[in-house]
Amino acid sequence: MDTQDFTAPEPAFEPAFEMRIDFGDTHHVGHIATGGARSCRPVAGGAFAGEGFSGSLVGGSETLLHRADGVTSVEAEYYIAFVGGDVVHAFGKGYEVLHNGSRDLRCTLLFEADEQGALAALATRAFIAERREGASDTIIYRIV
């Protein structure tokens, strides 16, 4: 493969934030016509911290589709109220899959924040979230 003319930087991760999510009871929609079983874990609370910022989870959900191929796809959405008053929206898509015997959640995350607010820089980067099976914290990595 000729890659001589490709000079863009190779991406990497850097840990940025930790998020503890308290979920409410899971809602089960059942098996849907487009394939798979739909369910939703609503966010009931939690905490978000890193890089000098901290806040509380005030809303959101992880919407799951347990697909016919055995993979669980996840659409995640979180609302975080930061100390100081800024509210940020994080959203992304990913999967729950087995990694070395652990059924881990991995999803992409983008942020929406007030452009004049203290968290505006969050919206200028892309992130990956990972939560190991049984772990209480979701680790959010910035893609650099």
Partner 1 sequence: MKLEFALEFRIALGARMHIELAEGYTRGAVLIENGTFSGPSIAGRIVEKSGGDFPMVRQDGSGRFESQYLLETDDGANILKRSTGVRHAPPEVVRKLMAQEPVDPTSYYMRMTPRFEAPAGPYDWLNRTIFVGVGQRNPTGSIFRFWKVV
Which C-beta is closer to partner 1: that of 87 or that of 126? Answer: 126
Encoded one letter per residue, x for contact with partner 1 by CB under 8 A and - for no contact, window 44-83 reads -------------------------x-x------------
Cβ 43 to partner 1 shortest distance, Å: 21
- The C-alpha atoms of residue 128 and residue 123 are separated, in whole angstroms, by 13
Going by their DSSP bridges, the two strands 72-82 and 87-99 should be labelled as antiparallel
Selection from 74, 68, 81, 61 nearest residue 31 by Cα: 68
User: Which bin fits 121, alpha (ψ -120 to 50), beta or left (φ > 0)?
Assistant: alpha
Which residues within the stretch 78-97 sit at the binding site for partner 1 (CB under 8 A)?
Answer: 92-95, 97
Q: Which of 6, 52, 116, 134 binds partner 1 (CB under 8 A)?
A: 6
